[in-house]
Amino acid sequence: MITVDTVDTVTTVPTVQQTALDALGASQTIERAEWSGVRLAYNTAGEGPKPVLLIMGYTVPGSAWVHQIPALAEHHRVAWYDHRGCGDTRAAPGAYTMALLAADARRLLDHLGWESAHIVGVSMGGMVGQELALYCPERVRSLSLIATHAGGLRSRLPPLAGMAGFVRANIGPRHECLGNLERLLFPDAFLARCDRQWLDQVLANDFGRPIPTRYRLSQLAAVMRHDTRDRLHRLGTIPTLVVKPALDKLVSPEACEQLAWRIPGARLKVYSDAGHAVIRQCAADLNADLLEHIHHAEP
């Protein structure tokens, strides 16, 4: 059985929080963790006895957590990183698996000296988080899964409109891709009222750096083979929050809900007016939910 909460409206337009992030002392120098041909780029901010690891989604650098890092780092030590082939991480391309990407997250925990951490993952990062929690549950203090799913053929494929939007956002001239991407990530009603300068800055910060096709395909291979459905019952001992953006065009909201149903004791939080970019669109409310979940997960 799951607990369901709903956020009915999104009433404020968020702001990019790089200034607050700088004030927290996040180093502008990229840190590196290295193993077996991988040079993983990461960074940290904040202090506290309850560490938090943020895992970003498909082909997006870890710095896209800028909307969450300042709020979380006021109370916790926070780390974020770039996946293989993304941002400043260096690794060979190939047919990645979710287990491989989860092993990268585990090795980063080792590198940081963290015996365990609160894991927060969005989209593909939520899939990595599931795999990490299944592989080494003793290292996961809590799990927050945002706009993601448990796999299976019906969940892997976006709704029809989302499928077309995904193709248009990844093929063609860069400026056209970014225009298609904003319509894929944000609901039309939000785009109609949000500040254009804010949106342009978000797109430039989070998606402005092109990712080579071979790495897009490498990460896509992991997404298309992701399937934790028959194993999620094992996560009943880990406090889990599942965030469902009800207007998501990329991950079926129903698939997100099914993920919550498969994890014993999971709490489902529904953002009724949010799209796939809920970490940006609803940053303040989401940050409060994440902090509350982390707080209640501690003994």
Contact partners, residue 142, CB within 8 Å, separation at least 6: 118, 119, 238, 239, 240, 241, 293, 294, 297
- CA 143, CA 163: separation in Å to the nearest integer? 28
- What's the mean per-residue pLDDT of the chain? 87
Task: Please state the rounded mean pLDDT for residues 265-289.
Answer: 97
278, pLDDT greater than 60: yes
State the pLDDT at residue 12: 44
pLDDT tens-digit series, residues 17-49: 444 445 454 555 689 999 889 999 999 999 988
Q: Residues of the chain with pLDDT > 90: what percent?
A: 71
Dihedral, CA atoms, 134, 138, 143, 148, nearest 10 degrees?
-20
Q: Give the CATH number for residue 193.
A: 3.40.50.1820
pLDDT band at 97 (very low <50, low <70, confident <90, very high): very high
The number of domains in the chain is: 1
193, pLDDT greater than 80: yes
Task: Please state the rounded mean pLDDT for residues 66-94.
Answer: 95
Concatenate the DSSP letters of all residues of the chain into one string. Answer: --EEEEE----S-----HHHHHHTT--SSPEEEEETTEEEEEEEE---SS-EEEE--TT--GGGGGGTHHHHHTTS-EEEEPPTTSTT-B---S---HHHHHHHHHHHHHHHT-S-EEEEEETHHHHHHHHHHHH-GGGEEEEEEES---BSHHHHSPPHHHHHHHHHHHSS-HHHHHHHHHHHHS-HHHHHHS-HHHHHHHHHHHH-S---HHHHHHHHHHHHH-B-TTTGGGGTTS-EEEEEETT-SSS-HHHHHHHHHHSTT-EEEEETT--TTHHHHTHHHHHHHHHHHHHHH--
State the pLDDT at residue 130: 98
pLDDT band at 287 (very low <50, low <70, confident <90, very high): very high
State the pLDDT at residue 204: 86
State the pLDDT at residue 4: 67
- Residue 232 sits in which domain range? 3-297
Min mean pLDDT across 22-31, 45-54, 258-267, 282-291 is at: 22-31
State the pLDDT at residue 208: 80
State the pLDDT at residue 110: 97
pLDDT band at 155 (very low <50, low <70, confident <90, very high): low
State the pLDDT at residue 11: 40
pLDDT band at 133 (very low <50, low <70, confident <90, very high): very high
Q: Residues of the chain with pLDDT > 70: what percent?
A: 82
Contact partners, residue 246, CB within 8 Å, separation at least 6: 253, 270, 271, 272, 273, 274
150, pLDDT greater than 50: yes
Of 124-128, 204-208, 253-257, where does the model show the most confidence?
Answer: 124-128
pLDDT band at 152 (very low <50, low <70, confident <90, very high): confident
Task: Please state the rounded mean pLDDT for residues 90-104.
Answer: 96
pLDDT tens-digit series, residues 54-71: 999 999 999 999 999 999
